[in-house]
Chains A and B, each alone.
Chain A
Amino acid sequence: MSRYIGQSLPRRDARLKATGEARFTADLSLPFMLHAAVLRSPYPHARIVRLDTSRAERLPGVKAVLTARDTSGVKWGVFRYTRDQEFLAREKVRYVGEEVAAVAAESEDIAREALELIEVEYEILPAVFDPLSAVADDAPRIHDHAERNINIHVPIHVGDVDRAFDECDYVHTERTVSEEESYFMTEPYAVLAHCDRQGTVEVWMPNASPHTKAKGLANALGLPVSKVHVRHVSVGGAFGGRSDMFPGEYIAARLSQMTQRPVKLVYTREENSIAVRQGHSMVVESTFGFKRDGTLHAVDVTAYMDGGAYSSTGPIATSVPFLCFEQTYRVPNVRYNGYRVYTNKPIRGMIRTHGRAWACNVDMQLDLAAAALGLDPVEIRRRNAVRTGDTTPTQSKIFKMDSLATIKAVAEASRFREKWGKLPKWRGIGIGCVSVMSGFPMGIRGGSAAMVKFDEDAGVTVISGVVDNGQGNENVVLQIAAEALGVAPGAIQLVASDTEVTPIDQGAYSQATTLCSGNAVRLACEDARRQIFEIASDMLEAAEEDLELEDGKVFVRGSPSRAVPLRNVIRMGLLKGKNVIGHGSFGPNVDQTREWIKNPKGQLAAAFSYGSAVVEVEVDPETGFVRVLDAWVAHDCGKAINPKEVEGQMEGGLAMGGHGGILLEACKWHEGANLNPDFLGYKVPLAPDMPPIHPFIVESEDPFGPFGAKEGGLSISMCTAQAYSNAIANAIGTHIREFPHTPDRVLEAIEKRAVTGDP
């Protein structure tokens, strides 16, 4: 019986965060610390003709000035074949905000003053700001190696799409367009680095994978990985925007190497928006073909994603929207061409609702087909939902996924079918579904390991690479360890995400933490139990397999009075030279030969979650303003380790993906300059905006997840976007093809509908 799994225990880190004791990177300081600032490109595309730092170097208080001249020139890219970014621009700059030089000085004021003394002469080059212009034959070339500025092309073709369309009873083409979203995690990026006189570099920064950062930094600094220690620190949100390497951590570490003093670099909100990551803008063209009974038979999608100036997570980012689709709705014949295109804009990464134009296009197609074929939106999803036992077009087996239960939960709770077609004018209801993978093949960095050790008083310390960006991952592994060891989570210490101490972990960016880090901790605890029982079996004169461990006691099953305190067992072990140290290592059951571009087939993830959402809206036809009346969300997370925390992920997902993603969020531009990098110009949802949210947790008991658990929450940030968009369409009688659906776009759609009558 579960004592700690499935319990909504308060999170361990919450007390520290509620008292202000939790330390985020900008809160840290070290003795003799210097402060850094970065000079950024004012142009979207320009050659650096002259770069003179001599005046800045002479400013009193300046300790070092860093340019590409002082670097090894190692380029960063998530994959060997995507290494295209130097951490400081060498010959040319490719976006407004790119790093050109950096200063370390006695104070931030001096550092900023020094930036003004750096002289840079640029030769301005023609620039290009959207993916469709960038692939034109006469477009300016941003990287020498990329013809037509195509950074990544993911081609997937399964079945015979052209023939399959001929077999369809209903075929329809749609084009959707979305602007970029921005992460707006509340913590702006910051980094503190300290290179000591043994050449060891310690670094603190918000991150989703300290081991990825340590490896990237070690490469760039020319050090072995063991000399780079990325430390644990509280992280103020990530949402995909802290995943790969950023110039900031290199700059701080390199300046610290040059000065032999700690260096702190704190980005402004604006720098965080422009010079870390943004979401991709997209143009998506889809053709969907259905049989008369509503089964989806063929799909052809082409997507152009604006990748900005460098690759970042490009191959993954170009694939994931398609993969989420093929896991969500069955389709035997499918062709996908995803193009990630270089432009002279900031670098794009994965974001919590990656690909709203893609995902919403799919669910728009489903609603239009349902209407044409005489089905309702719930029924067409029920008929097409991927479920347990299915295999996706790219050959992932779905071992356990209760998609239908999530659809049923939201459809019934919202009384969807009773409301469909019967709501008052300007009211609408919509549904969306999405499946998210718990991880993907990541080679040597795809699994997790953990250790558990005991003090002489039986105190427990778990050592795990688990990364927590705020979503509660640390608490997940604590509850798992508690369950496996029969010890209250409050009595367990956790050492997490410190590359000097903790083993490699896949990080918190592929939705694999619960599955991989959780399993590694479970296995480590089970290993410790075995060792404990081995020692205790002599003490209790009982067979190891007859022993139980609970509440700090080892006892014989069925006769609880034959017991010995765990403390005594641990001490006996120490006496006998058998120090109990549990070890667990876990790699997910994925096909490591699967590759994003060259070989996009094989088992993608060990588990897949499924989310469904329904929202009901009211549109003001005078202003175009959308009021969301109610939202119902259901998520198959396998097993909720901590149900309230899973709900929190679902609610936060709805806020960012649904509410922000469909009603508010978009980056604005002028000639490659982001006009709204701050909270004043970029609207994020606030407390008064939000609808009541009714969360439902579906537990399909995953066969591979720890205690049945898999990814918890991300599905909702995506499927709520689809539900919001469809609900608005239902309210105004026509779909909006541009994302987000801001009031002006809602009004425009209402007016156009009045003229053309198009659905």
Chain B
Amino acid sequence: MNEARKSPPKKMVVELEVNGTRHELLVEPRRTLLEVLREELGLTGAKEGCGLGACGTCTVLMDGRPVRACLTLAVEAQGASILTVEGLADTVADREPGALHPIQEAFVDAHGVQCGFCTPGMILAAKALLDEEPDPDEARIREALGGQVCRCTGYTKIVEAVKLAARRLSGEEVKA
């Protein structure tokens, strides 16, 4: 005789916009935004480093603000606009095909990427900061990235990347 499975919870309809595309999804209320992004939409740029809200590798922008996708239920994102690392370059108007967002470029050029597991979350946290404050000082950058764990870099070159991105975004410095 078969064991009976616990009955699966009822699903709900969630409408959300991800990287500019509208989706209507049927999800169980307990599903996190991270699960929906990674498993339903195939957007694996946001990572699950802990699932507890402590590491920041799952950071995405919800209506422009950084959120922990592992702690955000998909139903909480109802009607919201989500930006993941995959959609970041498309936010640049008239970009060349294949071109990166200036923050992504800066992480590459300033050697702010080692293993890269923290990088998507780091970059989105940096975008949220620079959208609000285009010219943050070093202490402010470190504070704004304070919830993003990086185990590889010691943060020095990540902070330098954010500074470089700020200079490039303000037009103070042009990429060679």
Contacts and interface: CB of A to CB of B under 8 A. Distances in A.
Interface residues of A, number: 64
A640 interface: no
Given A236-B116, A654-B154, A20 B85 contact: yes
B117 A18 contact: no
Interface stretch (B72-80, B142-150, B166-174): B142-150
14 contacts: A8-B111, A10-B109, A11-B113, A19-B45, A20-B86, A113-B5, A186-B47, A234-B117, A237-B151, A470-B116, A647-B156, A652-B114, A652-B152, A654-B154
A17 interface: yes
Contacts of A471: 114-115, 152
B139 to A, nearest CB: 8
Contacts of A239: 151
B148 A185 contact: no
A166 to B, nearest CB: 45
B29 to A, nearest CB: 14
A680 B100 CA distance: 34
Given A8-B111, A19-B86, A651 B2 contact: no
Interface residues of B, number: 59
A688 B50 CA distance: 20
B152 A237 contact: yes
Given A186-B117, A655-B155, A687 B3 contact: no
B93 interface: no
B100 A19 contact: yes
Contacts of B149: 184, 186, 679, 684, 686
B116 A648 contact: no
A60 B5 contact: yes
Contact of B50 (A22, A60, A234, A679): A679
Contacts of B109: 10
A146 B172 CA distance: 67
Contacts of A654: 154
A20 B115 contact: no
Nearest to B57: A186
A232 to B, nearest CB: 14
Interface in A156-177: none
A27 interface: yes
A688 B146 contact: yes
A686 B155 CA distance: 8
A606 B118 CA distance: 34
Contact of A18 (B46, B123, B157): B123
A693 B154 contact: yes
Contacts of A113: 5-6
B52 A59 contact: no
A110 B104 CA distance: 39
Given A17-B119, A188-B48, A679-B149, A60 B55 contact: no
Contact of A185 (B111, B115, B147, B156): B115
The 6 closest A-B pairs by CB, nearest first: A20-B45, A470-B115, A17-B116, A236-B117, A651-B154, A655-B154
B33 to A, nearest CB: 16
B130 interface: no
Interface in B16-44: 38, 43-44
B66 interface: no
A34 B95 CA distance: 40
Interface of B: 1-3, 5-6, 38, 43-52, 54-55, 57, 84-86, 88-89, 100, 104-105, 107-109, 111, 113-120, 123, 139, 141-143, 145-159
A23 B44 contact: yes
Contacts of B143: 687-688
Nearest to A692: B156
A673 B151 CA distance: 24
B152 A693 contact: no
A110 B6 CA distance: 9
Given A27-B44, A188-B48, A18 B155 contact: no
A14 B5 contact: no
Given A10-B111, A678-B52, A20 B43 contact: yes
B54 A678 contact: yes
A10 B105 CA distance: 10
Interface in A651-679: 651-656, 659, 678-679
B153 A648 contact: yes
Contacts of B86: 19-21
A18 B104 contact: yes
Given A14-B113, A687-B142, A651 B120 contact: no
Contacts of B159: 687
A743 interface: no
Contact of A188 (B5, B49, B84, B88): B49
A417 B109 CA distance: 37
Given A648-B153, A659-B154, A685-B155, 17 more contacts: A11-B108, A18-B113, A27-B44, A55-B3, A56-B3, A60-B3, A61-B5, A110-B5, A184-B151, A469-B115, A470-B115, A648-B156, A648-B157, A654-B154, A679-B49, A679-B54, A687-B155
A555 interface: no
Contact of A652 (B48, B104, B153): B153
Contacts of A690: 142, 154-156
A445 interface: no
B85 to A, nearest CB: 4
Nearest to A26: B48
Kindly name the residue among B6, B38, B52, B113 whose own CB sees the greatest number of chain A CB atoms within 10 A: B113
Kindly name the residue among A60, A269, A659 whose own CB sees the greatest number of chain B CB atoms within 10 A: A269
Given A58-B2, A59-B5, A186-B118, A14 B151 contact: no
A648 B111 contact: yes
Nearest to B89: A19
A237 B107 contact: no
A611 B15 CA distance: 55
